[in-house]
Chain A
Amino acid sequence: MNAFKKRIYEVIEVSSIGDASSRAYDILMTTTVIVGMIPLTLKADNIYTFIIEIMTGIIFLIDYCARVYTADYKMGYISIHAYFAYVLTPLAIFDLLSVMPILYVFFPTSQSLRLLKLIRVFRVVKLVRYSKTMIVIANVLRKVKKQLLAVLILITIYIFVSAMLVFQLEPNLFDNFFDALYWATISITTIGYGDISPTTDIGRFITMISALVGVAVIALPSGMITAAYMNEISRKKSKYEL
């Protein structure tokens, strides 16, 4: 039984060289993820999207059950806790979310289940497993997540502060505070749609400051990620050279 479970684990994990079954399974899963996104590109469903939903839902369900079944191999220790620990990992949560949209196929008139259709977009996260490049990027993001979180908090505080300032200084410009937040976000990211723009001098002054701050702050995450990515590439290169 252990040999059977181990074989399932080897097949569903990313394929090693020479493992034809695992390679075929990786291709099937990649195809399923990509085809599963096609209904999101259409305005209305048709018979083919119905078939796609059924097939992809069943495949993802089998994949999820197989991964939970072999969770002890994945987590590296044999214990009932390994199964619980696995289902709480981010990829396992995305795997479970990938299965949920099939419920909408069986209850199409349900408005609450209609939201499940949007969850299909999270299936693209599953591709991280099957792409070496995506695994590298995921490792890079994991390493810089504290720095990225610090920058995100800084940007969020600035957006709220500038939104509150302009909301008070130009009350006629915004219908509600969410409009002010929208304006602050569009200004600091230097997108500047122009659909909401201040008319008073003080409002425009704050907009100018937001744009200048935005150029500096928004560039920080890309610099961090680039530096971490170059380090990761160098590390892998030196590992292979040794």
Chain B
Amino acid sequence: MPDNSPKSQLISDIGVIDSKKELHTKIFVTLCRIMSLALAIIGILAFLEGNF
């Protein structure tokens, strides 16, 4: 039977422990992308507002 358990899980005597590292990474990357996009949009709007 293939082992399909994700790498962020630790199987120990007390049970399966899920690591939150991947979740934290996904949240951080998503936040960075949203902020980059928001800044880019605001920058374009500022340029258009100021020059046209």
Chain A residues with CB under 8 Å of chain B are 11, 20-21, 24-25, 27-28, 31-32, 34-35, 38-39, 41-44, 46-49, 51-52, 55-56, 59
Bits for B8-48, please: 1 = Cβ < 8 Å to A, else 0: 00000000000000000100110011011011101101110
Are the CB atoms of B46 and A42 closer together than 8 Å?
A: yes
CB distance from A8 to the nearest CB of B (A): 11
> A38 — which chain B residues lie within 8 A by C-beta?
43, 46-47
Give 12 new A-B contacts, CB below 8 A, not counting A46-B49, A55-B42: A21-B32, A27-B33, A28-B33, A28-B36, A28-B39, A32-B36, A42-B47, A46-B46, A46-B50, A48-B43, A48-B49, A55-B35
Are A35 and B28 in contact, CB atoms less than 8 angstroms apart? Answer: no
Nearest to A20 among chain B residues (CB) is B29
Q: Which of B38, B46, B47, B49 has the most CB of A within 10 A?
A: B46
Given A21-B28, A24-B29, are A32 and B39 also a contact pair (CB < 8 Å)? yes
Number of interface residues of B (CB under 8 A): 18
* Contact of A34 with B47 in the complex, beta carbons under 8 Å: no
The CA of A49 and the CA of B29, in the complex, are separated in Å by 25
B39 A48 Cβ-Cβ under 8 A = no
Q: How far is the CB of B11 from chain A (nearest CB, A)?
A: 22
* Chain A residue with Cβ nearest B47: A38
Minimum C-beta distance from B50 to chain A (A): 4
Could you tell me the distance in whole angstroms from the C-beta of A210 to the nearest C-beta in chain B?
40
Q: Which residue of B lies closest to A11 (CB)?
A: B28
- B50 A44 Cβ-Cβ under 8 A: yes
**Are B50 and A35 within 8 A (Cβ)?**
no
Q: Is the CB of B39 within 8 A of A55?
A: yes
In whole Å, how far is B39's beta carbon from the nearest beta carbon of chain A? 5
A25 in contact with B32 (CB, 8 Å)? yes
Given contacts A20-B25, A24-B28, A24-B29, contact A39 B46 (CB under 8 A): yes
The docked-state distance in angstroms from the alpha carbon of A20 to that of B23 is 12
- CA of A211 to CA of B32 in the docked complex: distance in angstroms? 52
